[in-house]
Amino acid sequence: MSVNTTLIVAIAYIVLGYSLWHFQKTGVLISGVVFNVLMIVFFLLVGGVAGIVASGIEIVRNVLFYYNERKQRENSVWLLVALACVVVFANAVLFTGITDVVMWIATFVGLYVYWYDKDFVGMRNKVVVLKAGQIVISICYIVYAFILSLWSQLPFESLVLMFTVLGFISAVKAQMSTE
Question: Which pLDDT tens digit goes with each residue over 111-159?
Answer: 888 888 665 455 556 778 888 898 998 898 888 878 877 777 788 889 8
Question: What value does the mean pLDDT take over residues 2-19?
Answer: 84
Nearest to 58 by CA among 117, 11, 16: 16
How many separate domains does the chain show? 1
Separation CA 82–CA 63 (nearest Å): 15
Q: Which amino acid is at 137?
A: I
User: Is the torsion defined by CA of 116, 121, 124, 129 positive or negative?
Assistant: negative
Number of CB atoms found within 10 A of residue 43's CB: 21
**What is the domain extent for residue 43?**
3-178
Question: Mean pLDDT score of the chain, rounded to an integer?
Answer: 83
Separation CA 30–CA 166 (nearest Å): 19
Question: What percent of the chain shows pLDDT beyond 90?
Answer: 15
Q: What is the pLDDT of residue 161?
A: 92
Question: What value does the mean pLDDT take over residues 61-74?
Answer: 87
